[in-house]
Amino acid sequence: MKRLVKPRTSDRLASAAISAVAGAAVALLAAFIGYFLWSGRSELNLHFLVSAPEFSKAGGGIGPQLFNSIYLVFLSSLVSVPIGVAAGMYLAEYARPGRTTDLLRLAIETLSSLPSIVVGLFGLLVFVTLTGWKYTLMGGALAVSILNLPVIARTSEDAIRSIPPSIKEGSLALGATRWQTLVRVLVPSALPGILTGVILAAGRAFGEAATLLYTAGMSSPKLDFSNWNPFSATSPLNPFRPAETLAVYIWKVNSEGLVPDARQIADGASAVLILSVLAFNLLARALSRALHRRFTGGKA
Amino acid sequence: MAGKSPIGRINAYYWKHEGLGRALATALGFLLAGITLALIGFLAVKGLAAFTTGRVPFLAFLFSTKWAPDSDPPAFGILVFLVGSVLLSLLAIAISTPFSLATALFIAEISPKAGRRILQPAIEIFVGIPSVVYGWIGLSVLVPFIRKAFGGLGFSLLSGALVLAVMVFPTIASLSADAIRALPAEYREGSLALGATRWQTIRRVLLPAALPGILTGVVLGLARAFGEALAVQMVIGNRVRIPGRLTDAMANLTSLITMDMGNTVMGTPWNDALWSMALILLLLSCGFILLARAAGRKGAAR
């Protein structure tokens, strides 16, 4: 059979095509970011970020929603970070290879790839109906924690496992128990990796919406930002109140369409979310590099 | 007991510095499995209620295309939504896989340095962009564009599949890149030493050898596309019918659950049918995970 194209020509063509696709992927991302910064530029001001939304006229802000998103990430981290890191410690150090561990891993893997709407519906059954809390910020935070737990557990396990065995053996040889070795040697050395996972999970929680529609709800009571009593119904700090987050708000202004400036609001709020994602990513990168440098004495 | 005999002292020391922490970590590790089981259990009980109360016939539920929950008598056939979900996710994978594979090859083979410094961070940001933002860009840019270019409403199967294709791109690309990178260097070197070009090596040696890992990525991408709710709901038009053309409006499982769950009262047949759809979504997701594992294991066995 006669070759239609010389191997060298096809090699060049294929390399060029692959590089072009990779370049296009980066260009698409740059276009997304550029588009949102451009379309949301008129909304990226202090008034939009801090003032309350309007229900039937234009000019409302996203203050309460932004606060709710940040508070929700904080509350869900309080739950998911300690449990997730401890589970990662168990998987990295204590879990013996065998059937039980295989099943445990399968369960965690399953949990981490469940659709977020399914986790939200579980939250609706347990944290809304069963507890009788109705739609609450706390219910939303717990549902998001379920989403984040397997992610934090896996990144913590990977980070602990990637520590050279000589470090662990040194600690054990000095007479430390395995738990002491974990807490004083392995986890501190694995901190850059663990923190990266925690920050990326926080970023995911910040933009999560499907889990929150039926757990934290699609409304926010009138908040009084001078009221810092967490037990008061109008206090922003009260975790047992409905709390619409920024991502949920983007969805709601589009599906309800009551506000005349829905488009500007969605553009502005999307710009805020994209910028936050970039910030979370850069923070994770910078922190892990800084910690790595500290632990390795300057060799990055 | 502690402090009396040497054995007691050792026991107390062990408990304080090892046993307690170990027990705690073990308990929290298994808590994750407990949450998974609880989730499956709760959704199974709630999702089966529609059939055990006899108000929704099981076979008609799965195989009928008639969805009329508020007519008299009501009809609860979900085939339209099931087919919608399958069409959307398969089309998304079909669009996304070639681009994802090319990106993976670039990272693993063509330019590892640019891959590490530019593409990998870019992929991480793609993963981090919230799904409502993808939905909003689809709604405000893609839908009007498709309306102008191809006619129809713009809200369509094509819009949904394109949005999903971008959303599953990072999953497929990063897992494929991992699979290609994990191949022994001898494969590559052997092929190149025999005089094969880089493209011949990729096509005849590396891609076939990395196929199990690539398939794992594709299946997990499929799972993500199948379960995505809001981004899809915003761009497919939510019309109860099986789309005949790419530009037809349509509906899928997740969009219907998202829209109707808040408008129906718990305990009514309509609401029960939504929970049954959620259970089907859960079971299919579990199926995808088992499939992805099976694909990965086949690779490890070779």
User: Could you report the per-residue pLDDT of B150-206, keeping only the tens digit for each?
Assistant: 988 899 999 999 999 999 999 999 999 999 999 999 999 999 999 999 999 999 999
pLDDT of residue A227: 81
Lowest mean pLDDT among A222-236, B140-154, B242-256: A222-236
Answer whether B131 sits within 8 Å of A149, measured CB to CB.
no
Three-state SS for B237? Answer: strand
Q: In 3D, which of A245, A239, A240 has the Cα closest to residue A132?
A: A240
Rounded to an integer, the average pLDDT of B99-111 is 93
The C-alpha atoms of residue B61 and residue B51 are separated, in whole angstroms, by 9
Q: Which amino acid is at A238?
A: N
Chain B closest CA to A234's CA: distance in Å? 24
CA atoms within 13 A on the CB side of B70: 4
Residues A247-265 have pLDDT tens digits of: 999 998 887 767 788 888 8
CA gap B142, B140 in Å, rounded: 6
Q: What percent of chain B has pLDDT over 90?
A: 71
Collapsed DSSP state (helix, strand, coil) of residue B247: coil
Cα separation, A199 vs B47, whole angstroms: 35
Rounded-to-integer distance, Cα B177 and Cα A140, Å: 35
Query: Taking a C-beta distance cutoff of 8 angstroms, is the pair B266, A129 a contact?
Result: yes
pLDDT of residue B266: 86
Are B32 and A254 within 8 A, CB to CB?
Answer: no
CA angle B39, B43, B48 (to 5 degrees): 155
DSSP B71: S
**Residue contact A146–B35, C-beta within 8 A:** yes
Residue A284 has pLDDT above 90, yes or no: no
Give the tokens for residue A160.
């602990």
**Tokens standing for residue B180:** 């290609």
User: Distance between CA atoms of B108 and A68, rounded to whole angstroms?
Assistant: 41
How far is the C-alpha of B86 from the C-alpha of B225, rounded, in Å? 9
Nearest CB partner across the interface for B254, out of A90, A117, A250: A117
User: ∠ at Cα B113 (A164, B163), nearest 5°?
Assistant: 100
- Cα nearest neighbour of A82 on chain B: B28
Q: Do B197 and A11 touch (CB under 8 A)?
A: yes
DSSP letter at B250 equals B
Digit-coded pLDDT (tens) for A130-142: 998 999 999 999 9
pLDDT at residue A48, as a whole number: 87
Look at B31 and A17 and tell me if their CB atoms are within 8 Å.
Answer: no
Q: What is the pLDDT of residue B7?
A: 81
How far apart are alpha carbons A61 and A44 in whole angstroms? 10
Residue A167 one-letter amino acid: I
Task: Check: CB of residue B101 under 8 Å from CB of residue A235.
Answer: no
Residues of A in contact with B110 (CB under 8 A): 15, 18-19, 22
- Work out the mean pLDDT of chain B and round it to a whole number: 91
pLDDT score, position B299: 61
Fold held by A63-296:
MetI-like fold (1.10.3720)
Query: What mean pLDDT is predicted for residues A4-22?
Result: 89
Q: Is the pLDDT of residue B45 over 90?
A: yes
Cβ distance B199 to A177 less than 8 Å, yes or no, reads no
List beta partners, residue B68: B75
To the question of pTM greater than 0.90 for the whole model, the response is: yes
The pair of structure tokens assigned to B239 is 């019309």
Q: Please measure the distance between the N-terminal and C-terminal CA atoms of chain A and give it in whole angstroms.
A: 54
Are the beta carbons of A146 and B39 separated by less than 8 Å? yes
Contact A156/B at CB under 8 A = no
Q: What per-residue confidence (pLDDT) applies to B1? A: 44
Find out whether A218 and B265 touch, Cβ atoms under 8 Å. no
Residues 173-202 of A with CB under 8 A from B: 177-180, 182-183, 200
CA distance A10 to chain B (A): 7
pLDDT tops 90 at residue B267: no
Q: Do A22 and B124 touch (CB under 8 A)?
A: no
CA distance A95 to chain B (A): 8
Q: A6: how many CB neighbours lie within 10 A of its CB? A: 10
What DSSP assignment string belongs to chain A? ---SS-HHHHHHHHHHHHHHHHHHHHHHHHHHHHHHHHHTGGG-SHHHHHSPPPSSSS----HHHHHHHHHHHHHHHHHHHHHHHHHHHIIIIIPPSSHHHHHHHHHHHHHHTS-HHHHHHHHIIIIIIIS---S-HHHHHHHHHHHHHHHHHHHHHHHHHTS-HHHHHHHHHTT--HHHHIIIIIHHHHHHHHHHHHHHHHHHHHH--TTTTTTT-S--PPP-TT---TTSTT-TT-SSS----HHHHHHHHHHH--STTHHHHHHHHHHHHHHHHHHHHHHHHHHHHHHHHHHHTT--
Residue ranges covered by each domain of chain A = 63-296
Among B10, B15, B18, B28, most A C-beta atoms within 10 A, so best to mutate, is B28
The per-residue pLDDT for A31 is: 92
Answer with the residue of higher pLDDT: A22 or A226.
A22
**Per-residue model confidence (pLDDT) at position A49:** 86
Residue with tokens 């870019």: B122
Mean per-residue pLDDT over chain A, rounded: 89
Q: Is the pLDDT of residue B275 over 60?
A: yes
**Is the pLDDT reported for residue A298 higher than 80?**
no
Tell me the Cα Rg of chain A: 24
Residues B264, A218: Cα–Cα separation, whole Å? 16
pLDDT in tens, B24-43: 999 999 999 999 999 999 99
The Cα–Cα gap between A215 and B260 comes to 15
CB–CB of B257 and A121 under 8 A?
yes
Q: Which H or E element spans position B104?
A: helix B79-105
Asked if A151 contacts A197 with a C-beta cutoff of 8 angstroms, the reply is yes
From A229's Cα to the closest Cα of chain B, the distance in A is 31
Q: What is the mean pLDDT of residues A98-106?
A: 92
Whether the per-residue pLDDT at A294 is higher than 80: the answer is no
pLDDT at B302 over 70: no
Strand partners, B250: B237
User: Touching check for A167 and chain B: CB below 8 Å?
Assistant: no
**Cα separation, B43 vs A125, whole angstroms:** 8
Q: State yes or no: pLDDT of A76 exceeds 80.
A: yes
Interface residue A111 vs chain B (CB under 8 A): yes
Look at B25 and A94 and tell me if their CB atoms are within 8 Å.
yes
The Cα-based distances of A252 to A103, A210, B43 in angstroms read: 39, 12, 26
pLDDT per residue as tens digits for the range B109-157: 998 898 888 998 899 899 889 999 999 999 999 999 999 999 888 999 9
Q: How many CA atoms lie within 13 A of A192 on its CB side?
A: 16
**Three-state SS across A121-172?**
HHHHHHHHHHCCCCCCHHHHHHHHHHHHHHHHHHHHHHHHHCCCHHHHHHHH
Cβ of B32 within 8 Å of Cβ of A118? The answer is: no
Chain A residue with minimum CA distance to B294: A106
So what's the pLDDT on residue B6?
Answer: 80
Picking from A116, A40, A245, A53, the residue whose alpha carbon sits closest to that of residue B137 is A40
Q: What is the rounded average pLDDT of the residues A163-178?
A: 93
